[in-house]
């Protein structure tokens, strides 16, 4: 008999909003983060694990391929959005994933009204959040959510990983 894995928890935003409403009704603390998450590495895993420890459920919003190109340039992403979403959704610390097409996750934050919105420390210093770089913070707070920056660990970045691959294997 073949073992069937349960479906990965990847949702369109409207469906995820309904799931989130159920979690709210159950009194669960929901944490939301977002990002490209291209070429999953230990920095991503550590970050998502730490984010999950801040609540009962962790939602991760993934940039679409088009919004990733707007943010990172025409050569990114390396891994298509559907595959990045499946990889992130397969992590034990992640409870739900959605893909968004906009440049920022403001609409996602507004639709899900997380109890806590989390980003990496590269979006500010300590408790001082650079809201020009993180407009989602204002929306999270307007919905009663807390905003938290997690420590950024230098040396664990997708760009560095790509540079290391290119340096070792060349461009052609």
Higher pLDDT, 19 or 163: 19
Higher pLDDT, 134 or 16: 16
Asked if the structure places residue 36 within a domain, the reply is yes
Asked if the structure places residue 24 within a domain, the reply is yes
| Span 49-87, pLDDT tens digits | 999 999 999 999 999 999 999 999 999 999 999 999 999
CATH number of the CATH domain containing 153: 3.40.50.620
Domain containing 27 equals 13-169
List C-alpha distances in Å: 51 to 43, 72, 105, 132: 12, 23, 17, 22
Q: Of the given ranges (91-95, 98-102, 131-135), which has the lowest mean pLDDT?
A: 131-135
Asked if the structure places residue 2 within a domain, the reply is no
Helix, strand or coil, per DSSP, at residue 59:
strand
Average pLDDT score, the chain: 90
Element of type H or E holding 34: strand 30-35
Higher pLDDT, 145 or 152: 145
Work out the average pLDDT over 21-31: 98
Predicted pLDDT at 80 = 97
Predicted pLDDT at 162 = 82
- pTM, whole model, 2 decimals? 0.90
Q: Residue 160 half-sphere exposure, CB side, CA atoms within 13 Å? A: 8
Asked if the structure places residue 87 within a domain, the reply is yes
Work out the average pLDDT over 8-24: 97
DSSP tag of 124: E
Asked if the structure places residue 45 within a domain, the reply is yes
Whether the upstream peptide bond of residue 77 has omega within 30° of 0, thus cis, is yes
- Considering its fold, how many domains does the chain have in total? 1
């Amino acid at each position: 008999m073949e073992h069937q894995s349960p479906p990965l928890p990847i949702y369109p935003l409207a469906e995820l909003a309904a799931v989130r409403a159920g979690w709210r009704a159950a009194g669960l603390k929901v944490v939301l983060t977002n990002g490209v998450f291209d070429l999953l590495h230990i920095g991503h895993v550590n970050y998502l694990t730490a984010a999950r420890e801040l609540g009962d459920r962790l939602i991760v919003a993934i940039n679409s391929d088009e919004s990733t190109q707007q943010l990172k340039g025409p050569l990114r992403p390396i891994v298509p959005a559907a595959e990045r979403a499946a990889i992130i959704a397969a992590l034990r610390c992640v409870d739900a994933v959605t893909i968004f097409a906009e440049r920022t996750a403001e609409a996602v934050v507004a639709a899900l009204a997380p109890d806590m919105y989390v980003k990496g420390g590269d979006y500010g210093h300590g408790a001082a959040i650079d809201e020009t770089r993180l407009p989602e913070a204002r929306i999270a707070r307007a919905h009663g959510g807390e905003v938290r920056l997690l420590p950024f660990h230098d040396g664990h970045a997708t760009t560095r990983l790509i540079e290391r691959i290119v340096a070792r294997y060349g461009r052609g």
